[in-house]
C-alpha cells in the first residue's frame, strides 16, 4: 500500500502554496501496517515530519 499526500496551503492574502509531498510505502502483510504514525515516533529523519507541515494517522485492523 502507498499513502501519498500533496497538501496546499490556502489563505486569503496570497496565492495557494504547495507544501512538501508526503509518501510512505507499506510492504509485507497488511497486519504489519497496523499502528499509529506521527512525527515523533521514529526519531531524526522521521517521514511524518516534513519541515513545513506534519502528519499523524492510524491504520486499524478490520475484522469481519
d(CA 20, CA 42): 19
Give the three-class secondary structure for 30. helix
Q: What is the pLDDT of residues 47-62, one digit of tens each?
A: 788 888 889 999 999 8
Q: What is the pLDDT of residues 25-55, one digit of tens each?
A: 999 999 999 999 988 766 666 778 888 888 9
d(CA 42, CA 45): 8
Q: What is the pTM of this model?
A: 0.73
Q: What is the pLDDT of residues 4-16, one digit of tens each?
A: 999 988 888 888 8
d(CA 17, CA 14): 8
Amino acid at each position: 500500500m502507498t499513502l501519498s499526500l500533496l497538501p496546499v496551503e490556502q489563505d486569503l492574502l496570497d496565492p495557494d502554496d504547495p507544501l512538501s509531498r508526503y509518501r510512505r510505502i507499506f510492504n509485507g502483510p497488511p497486519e504489519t501496517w497496523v499502528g499509529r504514525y506521527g512525527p515523533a515516533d521514529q526519531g531524526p529523519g522521521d517521514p511524518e515530519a516534513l519541515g513545513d507541515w506534519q502528519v499523524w494517522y492510524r491504520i486499524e485492523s478490520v475484522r469481519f
